[in-house]
Structure 1
Amino acid sequence: MGTHRVSRSIVIDAPAERIFDIIATPSRHSEFDGSGTVRHAVSGPDRLEHGSEFGMDMRMFGVSYRMTNRVVEFEPNRLIAWRHIGPHRWRYELEESPAGGTRVTETFDYSFRFPAYYVLAGMPARNAIGIEQSLLRLKDVAEKAATD
């Protein structure tokens, strides 16, 4: 991975398998998206695996659009990353703690092409806020699933 990335972590009181199941299910992405851009899944499998393609209805700055993503990294219950038409990646890494819970790290890696554009457009700061909110929402969804 390059140096141009935004990354945040949170500890979730849930096993990695439960958290990974949520992340690997495209129809659930809007439940934990903290950026406000993900609307709903429009195509793809029920559960992601390496090489899966999935389409999402999105909305940013008042403009609706569709984005197709492809899973480019995949280790069940540990790592999943996807990219869309651009080369940058969204990555989730999960690490269970022997003391309980799972540390989840979400990273937006924009080091692959035109990193200066992302910096000038203010994307790192905007992505950091969205990632922080996404992790809090993922925590709520995963921990609530244990009580349902």
Structure 2
Amino acid sequence: MAKHRVSRSIVVNAPAEEVFAVIADPRRHPDLDGSATVRGHLHGPTRLTAGSEFGMDMKMFGVPYRMTNRVVEYEKDRRIAWRHIGAHRWRWELEPLDDGTTRVTETFDYSTTGPLAVLYRLAGHPARNARAIEATLPRLKALVESAQER
């Protein structure tokens, strides 16, 4: 694992295009979220692309708030990342596998935060985000695979 990044992967039994369609739809983010902080989609497009802005209703430690995110990395059906006012990013990378499945890697990347990286570690963000990613990826897998069964 790279310094100042937390990543986990899972293999989803679906093509990358189908997985990406779910991740790139901010209305689905509350369904995917393993952190229990994303509550709902406020505004923005139904399909994210490079530069898209989208707002989410959030709640952390019992305190509700709203957050606007901007897509800062984008390669259709392969990679998408967004950030909000903080410099850290949430990145999704999709790797199509030979058997028609897709390896999905979700990353909390705080390598872009400069000196704030120390504060992130002290506040426990890397460990908390690792647990959230470990909960999010199986939710994504179940959501995409159940849609395929229909």
TM-score in terms of structure 2 length: 0.96
Runs of 4+ in 1 over 4 A off after TM superposition: none
Q: Deviations over 1:61-115 (max 9, x none)?
A: 0000000000001111000000000111000000010023100000000122200
SS at match of 2:118: helix
Aligned position for 1:100: 100
Partner Cα distance (2:111, 2:59) in 1? 24
Counterpart among 138, 141, 149 of residue 139 in structure 1: 141
Aligned position for 2:90: 90
Partner Cα distance (2:125, 2:48) in 1? 26
Task: Establish whether residue 18 from structure 1 lines up as the match of residue 49 from structure 2.
Answer: no
Count of aligned residue pairs for this structure pair: 147
Shift of 1:36: 0.3
1:59-138 map, 5 Å:
59-113=59-113, 114-138=116-140
Partner Cα distance (1:26, 1:141) in 2? 14
Task: Establish whether residue 36 from structure 1 lines up as the match of residue 13 from structure 2.
Answer: no
Give unpaired runs (5+ residues) of structure 2: none
**Which residue identity is paired with 1:22?**
V
Aligned-residue sequence identity (percent) comes to 63
**Which residue identity is paired with 2:88?**
H
Give unpaired runs (5+ residues) of structure 1: none
Partner Cα distance (1:145, 1:77) in 2? 17
